[in-house]
Structure 1
């Protein structure tokens, strides 16, 4: 299973991408995360459905007190892209 998501809120300059990578490694999630010019953070992640849900829930609730997610645009896909690791772009 694969998820593509864009996170809105206070998500840049607060450790969001590195928190995402840390959680991804913990949950065996593969893919990538990057900052967008409009202040959002975009990610694509794949793994088991259970672990992907845990991953998105953790990111949505803020991995540290500085992160404040206000909205997530998310699409789910059945197929995987074949990522071998989780990277910060």
Structure 2
């Protein structure tokens, strides 16, 4: 099981980024949450099997939202993240 936290920067708010990230997470069996930050970035906490998390991170880096554009992703392993039951969008 792999647990990561990501801060995604670029044109990622107001373009459906959180909703497409949730759809992607649900397809891959990844749990966690996604939320907008006041600085215009998006934060994701994700938990799942190693292969699923690796694929999720790769697709997030390439912006799952067709209208979005990712310029930078800060990723850190977060072994102390809680286990989530599902992937949710946090407001």
TM-score (structure 2 length as normaliser): 0.92
1:16 offset after TM fit, Å?
Answer: 0.5
Partner of 2:51: 50
TM-score (structure 1 length as normaliser): 0.94
Partner of 2:84: 83
Moved >4 Å (runs of 4+):
none
Give, in whole Å, the separation in 2 of the partners of 1:80 and 1:49: 15
Give, in whole Å, the separation in 2 of the partners of 1:61 and 1:46: 19
Partner of 2:16: 15
Q: Which runs of 5+ in 1 are unaligned?
A: none
Q: Which runs of 5+ in 2 are unaligned?
A: none
Q: RMSD of aligned C-alpha atoms?
A: 1.1
